[in-house]
Amino acid sequence: EMLKELNQQRRAKEFTDLKIIVEGKEFEVHQNVLASCSLYFKDLIKRSPRDSSRSGEKLELAMSNLTADVLELLLEFVYTGSLIIDSANAKTLLEAASKFQFHTFCKVCVSFLEKQLTASNCLGILAMAEAMQCTELYNMAKAYALQIFPEVANQEEILNISKDDFISYMSNDSLNTKAEELVYETVIKWIKKDAAIRAQYAAELLAVVRLPFIHPSYLLNVVDNEELIKSSEACRDLVNEAKRYHMLPHARQEMQTPRTRPRLSAGVAEVIVLVGGRQIIGMNQRALTAVTCLNPQNNKWYPLASLPFYDREFFSVVSAGDNIYLSGGMESGVTLADVWCYMSLLDNWNLVSRMTVPRCRHNSLVYDGKIYTIGGVGVAGNVDHVERYDTITNQWETIAPLPKAVHSAAATVCGGKIYVFGGVNEAGRAAGVLQSYIPQTNSWSFIESPMIDNKYAPAVTLNGFIFILGGAYARATTIYDPEKGNIKAGPNMNHSRQFC
């Protein structure tokens, strides 16, 4: 009843104290009513100069950044709580409501637009919501557009959005497509819509396509023959990268780029695999045969085929391509040379080879598609022996030995070199040595440093730096910069750990 009475007073221009002039049309309203609904107008009214000698006159505001029709609808909603909204005026009303901070009005428009989302307008609504910082509508439109990509790809709207918006949309991991070929075709269509201007961005746009997931025959027969691709060296490099990915499955671990990461809809995921370990039962420990994996996309654990043996420990595990290789170890006091392979497509373990030297507590890593096994404990103590395994030919090759025989070291690859940090020397103490290997020259070098005192710790490479994590039930971390040759202490981990 109060709103109804106030609206009648507004229409009769009774007790109004604010005059808004838009496009030559005057709107008389009550300051308190308008200020209670709009933070913009509340602030504007408070800051407007007032002449005390003319206090009996209405405050006037001349506005040029909206239309009379839109203001009429806004005022109608303020005074009645009702609104005539349709697909023709919804965007305009939301823009005005957002600009003038009519928050309740915004919610009504957002609710309407969410119900109006279609394949032909969702990208436009997404861009508008982002520009207006309308989070609720933005999230809704984004999720909708990503989910129905095959339908959106057939609409004219996608060919008219800006380059930045197009790249942001097409590069999203959540883009729902069963075939990456459709992503490629949409990119080519977008470029050809205005080839004179857009062709210069061909490589930047092609980079959003996960080319390694395109079928090889399509890659060779369609992508290779596209003139836009043939005329750009950068585009050809991207296509060649995808070809190498298909031709060298054993070397895929070293080809990781944003393009080799599968989209969520592909039904393929990169996972973290835990192999074996120890379980503490009272005062005793026993070796585990369980193999499990964590999918970071949904934060869930899944069981994989268990290890095909019992009571084996101190083996080394490394991933190569889509498979996992487990080498050596000790079982019932016997040092082993076995190499087992977990085949992810079959979810089973198979004995595939044997090292030339039995060993345990050794390191293994992958470089240039080959598996290197380094040092460790052999039948008669520490070994300096190093060999590498070609998973394709199933052949082992002995290479230059370690300068210092160690076991339980931290090893990784960075910048084309193999690095082995610390470990335990033949006297059973921390080795305190950094050993590095250059595959091209088959040569090792080493330096000794008190900063390198790790044992039973892993090393990982990230962003050009090497991190050594824990070891000997320690929380400490060590950071090595291969480019500068600097080594320093890093922040402590939350928990002490070894053999992780």
Residue 100 pLDDT grade (very low, low, confident, very high; cuts 50, 70, 90): confident
Quick check: 334 and 379 in contact, CB under 8 A? no
Residue 137 lies in a domain: no
Q: What is the pLDDT of residue 254?
A: 72
* Boundary residue ending a domain (116, 140, 172): 116
Can you give the three-state secondary structure of the chain, one letter per residue? CHHHHHHHHHHCCCCCCEEEEECCEEEEECHHHHHHHCHHHHHHHHHCCCCHHHCCCCEEEEECCCCHHHHHHHHHHHHHCCCCCCCCCHHHHHHHHHHCCCHHHHHHHHHHHHHHCCCCCHHHHHHHHHHCCCHHHHHHHHHHHHHCHHHHCCCCHHHCCCHHHHHHHHCCCCCCCCCHHHHHHHHHHHHHHCHHHHHHHHHHHHCCCCHHHCCHHHHHHHHCCCHHHHCCHHHHHHHHHHHHHHHCHHHHHHHCCHHHCCCHHHCCCCCEEEECCEEEECCEEEECCCEEEEECCCCEEEEECCCCCCCEECCEEEEECCEEEEECCEECCEECCEEEEEECCCCEEEEEEECCCCCECCEEEEECCEEEEECCEECCEECCCEEEEECCCCEEEEECCCCCCCECCEEEEECCEEEEECCECCCCCECCEEEEEECCCCEEEEEECCCCCCCCCCEEEECCEEEEECCCCECCEEEEECCCCEEEEECCCCCCECCC
> Are 371 and 385 found together in one domain?
yes
Residue 298 CA to residue 267 CA, distance in Å, equals 12
Number of domains in the chain: 4
Same-domain status, 310 and 407? no
How much of the chain, in percent, has pLDDT values that exceed 70?
97
| Residue 295 shares a structural domain with residue 234 | no
pLDDT of 44 higher than 90: no
Question: 239 with 310, same domain?
Answer: no
Residue 351 is assigned to a structural domain of this protein: yes
Give the model confidence (pLDDT) of 230-262 as tens digits.
Answer: 999 999 999 999 998 888 876 776 778 889 888
Same domain, 445 and 334: no
Sign of CA dihedral 84, 90, 93, 94: positive
Same domain, 392 and 422: no
CB-based contact 101:40 (threshold 8 Å): yes
Same domain, 410 and 492: yes
Q: Where is mean pLDDT largest: 32-36, 184-188, 261-265? A: 184-188
Rounded to 5 degrees, what are φ and ψ at 402?
-65, 140
Instruction: With beta carbons less than 8 A apart as the criterion, state whether 362 and 328 touch.
Output: yes
Looking up residue 450, the CATH number of its domain turns out to be: 2.40.10
pLDDT of residue 250: 67
Same domain as 386, residue 285: yes
Give the model confidence (pLDDT) of 489-500 as tens digits: 889 988 887 776
Q: How would residue 52 be classed by pLDDT, with cut points 50, 70 and 90?
A: very low
Same domain, 376 and 287: yes
Same domain, 449 and 468: yes
At 55 the pLDDT is 57
pLDDT tens digits along 332-389: 999 999 999 999 878 999 999 999 999 999 999 999 889 999 999 999 999 999 999 9
In a domain, 407, yes or no: yes
148 located within any domain: no
Contacts 24+ apart (CB under 8 A), 383-386: 383/357, 383/359, 385/356, 385/357, 385/359, 386/437
Choose among 361, 364, 356, 368: nearest CA to 396: 356
Rounded Cα distance between 140 and 142, Å, is: 6
Residue 311 burial (C-beta neighbours within 10 Å; 0-12, 13-18, 19+): exposed
Nearest 10 degrees: Cα torsion 118, 119, 124, 127: 100
In a domain, residue 168? The reply is: yes
Highest mean pLDDT: which range of 70-74, 130-134, 219-223: 219-223
- Residues 282, 374 share a domain: yes
Nearby residues of 97 by Cβ (< 8 Å), 6 or more positions away: 74, 103, 105, 106, 109
The more confidently predicted of residues 17 and 89 is 17
Instruction: Reply yes or no on whether the pLDDT at 51 is more than 70.
Output: no
Q: What is the pLDDT of residue 53?
A: 37
163-219 tens-digit pLDDT: 999 999 999 999 999 899 999 999 999 999 999 999 999 999 999 999 999 999 999
pTM for this model (two decimals):
0.59
Which residues span the domain enclosing 112?
A: 1-116
What mean pLDDT comes out for the span 102-119?
A: 83
Of 162, 256, 141, nearest to 205 (Cα)?
162
CA proximity to 176, closest of 270, 266, 269? 266
Residue 18 counted as domain residue: yes
The residue behind tokens 């490589």 is 203
Take residue 496 and report the two structure tokens written for it: 């002490």
Across the chain, mean pLDDT equals: 89
Domain boundary among 193, 225, 254: 254
Higher pLDDT, 269 or 356: 356
Q: Do 274 and 390 lie in a common domain? A: yes
Q: Which carries the bigger pLDDT value, residue 141 or residue 82?
A: 141
Instruction: Answer yes or no: is 93 within a domain.
Output: yes
Q: Which of 53, 86, 116 is the last residue of a domain?
A: 116
Q: What is the CATH number of the domain that holds 207?
A: 1.25.40.420
Query: What's the CATH code of the domain at 364?
Result: 2.120.10.80
On whether residue 166 sits in a domain, the answer given is: yes
